Structure 1
Amino acid sequence: MSEIVKEPSMLLQKEMIARNYEAITSKHETGRKVSSTFVPGNLNELLLCFDIVNNLPEINAIQNGMRKLSGNYIMDAEKSGHSEDVCTYVKADIGMMGAGNIAPNGKPFPKPDVLLLSYTGCYTFMKWFELLREEYKCPTLMLHVPYEGDGHSTKNMRDYIVKQLKEVIIPGLEQVSGIKFDIDRLREALRNSAKAEDNLVWVLESGKHKPSPIDAYFGGVYYIGPIFTAFRGTPDAIAYYDALRTEVQARIDTRQGPITPDGSNFNDQRYRLVVEGPPNWTHFREFWKMFSDEGAVVVASSYTKVGGMYDLGFRHDADNPLETLADYCLGCYTNRNLPTRVDILAKYIEEYEADGLLINSIKSCNSFSAGQLMMMNEVERRTGKPGAFIETDLVDPRYFSAANVKNRLESYFQMIEQKRLGTAKAA
């Protein structure tokens, strides 16, 4: 199958991610320290203060899924005793380590100098880091983030996180890096983050236009790459989101839709969807094409919020540097309770004038999949718009059935048409 045709911003973010992999794998030549950490709640601005390169195991698993390598890695991990029900990101990572631990640039990953875990709603993260700690025998720093079980954070929660930052995380990073913490350097990174976040929100909210100039799910995973990984807080992130905004504005000005996997502009947008849950990575192009072939554009998604709910108003605040890191971690999508997630999805349906909610339930990801049927039913009740449910997995190709997914999507689009016909008759 041919490669996905990409927008200029997609190519730019690909180059940025490649540059970070080069920084990681050249650690022995440059002398820079390397951390392993996760996307939701990551403390990239803080790591920048210590010149630590940020490596993200989730992103490595995604890369291996898109390169068709994850299936064998997962089976190797299962042969060594990991259950079929374990998150496939974990098994892809463990399997990769057993197969030489090769990065996407073809060079071996170095051992991390520190494992930095910001716990944000996924218990698997903690077990994953136990396995990595056993493998690498390196320092492990854990920032425990309280779950927003009541639908909001409290001052006590924030103070609890700030205390850990002061007493555990910052001293630990100082010891690993040999660099004294400079709060003014953190403030500068936070100002950079806020500038990039402004433009990211503008891009995501452009999905309210008709036609939408973006696909907020398939295209969106490219758009969020720099800010959710190793570049938030840097001038490079500001430059990227300036370029992305200019690109999207040009499509708005000419009433053009985003690019499709085939390279044409997606102007014939028959269905506007909100999507809940991560995409499937092993068949990403095929999955995307099922939507574009039917004229379905995703105008908003929850997955593009896992690294920060910026569209709800949060910005990193240089005037309150440690407190804003705490607020960021607390507010990540997977750290919010189910009623709050329902509120967010129903809000997207209304504000983006979507035809309905589609849930891609991930077999091995409890953080997203638990409660999704209840969420779908409640969003349907509130909005009057139909919902649908498909099932795939993150990076395990055994759980992507193209025929089943296609049939369910076609049935869903027929349901939307019937709903429209019924609304027209009632009017």
Structure 2
Amino acid sequence: MSDVVKEPSMLLQKELIARNYDAITSSRETGRKVSSTFVPGNLNELLLCFGIVNNLPEINAIQNGMRKLSGDYIMTAEKSGHSEDVCTYVKADIGMMGKGNIAPNGKPFPNPDVLLLSYTGCYTFMKWFELLREEYKCPTLMLHVPYEGDGQSTKNMRDYIVKQLKEVIIPGLEEVSGVKFDIDRLREALRNSARAEDDLVWVLEQGKRTPSPIDAYFGGVYYIGPIFTAFRGTTDAIDYYTALRAEVQARVDAGQGPLMPDGTTLSEQKYRLVVEGPPNWTHFREFWKMFSDEGAVVVASTYTKVGGMYDLGFRHDPDNPLESLADYCLGCYTNRNLPNRVEILTKYIEEYQADGLLTNSIKSCNSFSAGQLMMMREVEKRTGKPGAFIETDLVDPRYFSAANVKNRLESYFQMIEQKRRGATRAA
């Protein structure tokens, strides 16, 4: 298999992620404290106020999946008693701990100084942190985020989160770090976040163009990397999204599609799709190629919103810092109820002029997979566009059947063609 060809923004993203791993693994030498926290609802701007390095277990699992290490880690976790049905991010993380806890840079991860859980719709996170707390015996700070069961947040929900920030989270981080909280420092980080978020939204909305200059699922993984991890709130994130925007603008000007891993650009786009659910990481490039070989481009996806629904108008607000953090946590995709998710998917199908909705149902991810079939049927009913269902897993290679996925995709594309011919005859 030939080497993967990457755009400059992809290389820059890789450099940023590598820099964060170096900061994590050298923290004992530099004296910096380390937190473990999750992507949806993460409080990166707040951690920056205390000089705390942010380590994200999901990102570690993704890295190990793409590097073909997660399968062995998952087996190790299952041998120690974890069920086959447990989230494979969890098992990859637990198994990695049992195999030396080595970071992607080849150095051992330090034990975290604090576990920071901003609960946003995935109950597995709470059990995951219980296991980590048993292992590391470090302080645990939990920010409880109410679920948007009625499809919207309320002032009472926001006030409840702000109260926890003031009384639990900020004092806890002050104690761990030895640094006094400075709200002006938080305001500056939020200001940086909003600037980066503006450019990210601009990039993602270019999927409305024909041809689309982006792939909002596979390429989108790279686009969201810095802002969903340890760089939201920094000038590094601003620089990254400025560069990414210029890169995408150049493709718009040239009438080009996104760059594929083999170095070609997908400008001849036969199918425009919206995708629901995370990608498979253990066969990421092979999975992507199945789409590009058929001339299919993903113009919008829900996975690129799991760390923030910025395209619906939210921006971090330096004028209302703690309230802004609360609104961010409440609005994460996995904290929204199923009718609201249907509305979002319907909006994407219509605004991005997609041919249909493809759902990648993840075997071990309940927060994404619950209700997906119902959602797909409802979106089909509302839009008149066909849906399709494929099944893989996050980082467990045992649950990626290339032949099965390829057959389902080919059948789906045939369904789209039939739908088009039927529409032509009716006209």
TM-score after normalising by structure 1: 1.00
Alpha-carbon separation, structure 2, partners of 1:148 and 1:201: 23
Match of 2:158 in 1: 158
Question: Deviation digits for residues 12-46 of structure 1, max 9, x if unmatched?
Answer: 00000000000000011100000000000000000
Corresponding residue number in structure 2 for 1:211: 211
Aligned-pair distance for 1:5? 1.4
Aligned amino acid, residue 196 of structure 1: A
- Partner Cα separation in structure 1 for residue 348 and residue 173 of structure 2: 39
Pairing of 1:105-124 with structure 2 (within 5 A): 105-124=105-124
| Aligned match of 1:220 | 220
Match of 2:420 in 1: 420
Q: Which residue number in structure 2 is paired with residue 142 of structure 1?
A: 142
Task: Give the secondary-structure state (helix, strand or coil) at the position aligned to 2:138.
Answer: coil
- In 1, the alpha carbon distance for the partners of 2:337 and 2:3 equals 38
Q: Distance in 1 between matches of 2:212 and 2:5?
A: 18
CA-to-partner distance for each residue in 1:266-305, whole Å, 9 max, x for gaps? 1110000000000000000000000000000000000000
1:408 is matched with which residue?
Answer: 408
Look up the match of 1:254.
Answer: 254
**Aligned counterparts of 1:344 and 1:98: Cα–Cα separation in 2:** 40
Distance 1:62 1:306 in 2: 15
Distance in 2 between the 1:23 and 1:266 partners? 36
> Paired residue for 1:44?
44
User: What is the identity, as a one-letter code, of the residue corresponding to 1:19?
Assistant: R
CA distance in 2 between partners of 1:237 and 1:310 (Å): 15
Q: TM-score, normalised by structure 2?
A: 1.00
SS of match in other structure, 2:262: coil
Give, in angstroms, the shift of residue 168 of structure 1: 0.2
Q: 1:84: which partner in 2?
A: 84
Aligned length: 427
Aligned to 2:3: 3
Distance 2:407 2:261 in 1: 20
SS for the counterpart of 2:360 is strand
Percent identity over paired residues: 89
Q: Is 1:291–2:291 an aligned residue pair?
A: yes
Q: How far off its partner does 1:137 sit?
A: 0.3
Consecutive aligned runs of 4 or more in structure 1 exceeding 2 Å deviation: 1-4
- Aligned partner letter, 1:69: L
Question: Residue in 1 aligned with 2:72?
Answer: 72
| Residue 275 of structure 1 pairs with residue 275 of structure 2 | yes
Amino acid in structure 2 at the alignment position of 1:397: P
Offset at residue 2 of structure 1 (A): 3.2
State the distance in 2 between where 1:298 and 1:280 align.
15
SS of residue paired to 2:391: strand
CA positional deviation for 1:3: 3.5
- Distance in 1, matches of 2:377 and 2:261, equals 31
Supply the distance in 2 between the matched residues of 1:68 and 1:50 (Cα, whole angstroms): 35
Give the structure 2 partner of residue 171 of structure 1: 171
Matched, 1:344 2:344: yes
| Cα distance in structure 1, aligned partners of 2:342 and 2:96 | 36
In 2, Cα distance between equivalents of 1:6 and 1:417: 31
For structure 1, which segment, 347-356 or 2-11, has the greater mean C-alpha deviation from structure 2 after superposition?
Answer: 2-11
For 2:240 and 2:97, locate their aligned partners in 1 and report how far apart those are by CA, in whole Å: 32
Counterpart for residue 29 of structure 1: 29
Q: CA deviation at 1:261?
A: 1.8
User: How far apart are the structure 1 equivalents of 2:337 and 2:195?
Assistant: 28
- CA drift of 1:334 comes to 0.2
Instruction: Letter of the 1:73 partner, please give it.
Output: Y
- Residue pairs, 1:88-107, within 5 angstroms: 88-107=88-107
Report the Cα distance in structure 1 between the residues aligned to 2:2 and 2:399, rounded to whole angstroms: 22
Q: What runs of 5+ residues in structure 1 fail to find an aligned partner?
A: none
TM-aligned CA deviation for residue 97 of structure 1: 0.2
Q: What SS does structure 1 have at the residue aligned with 2:236? A: helix
Gaps of 5+ in 2: none
In structure 1, C-alpha distance between the alignment counterparts of 2:171 and 2:156, rounded to whole Å: 22
Q: What does 1:350-365 align with in structure 2 at a 5 Å threshold?
A: 350-365=350-365
Pairwise CA RMSD:
0.4
Q: How does 1:298-317 map to 2 (within 5 A)?
A: 298-317=298-317
Residue identity in the other structure for 2:393? D
Alignment deviations for residues 178-226 of structure 1 (CA, whole Å, 9 cap, x no partner): 0000000000000000000000000000000100000000000000000
Whole-angstrom CA distance in 2 between matches of 1:78 and 1:268:
44
Partner SS state of residue 218, structure 2:
coil
Residue 390 of structure 1 aligns to a residue whose secondary structure is: strand
Paired AA for residue 153 in structure 2: S
Q: Distance in 2 between matches of 1:234 and 1:72?
A: 35
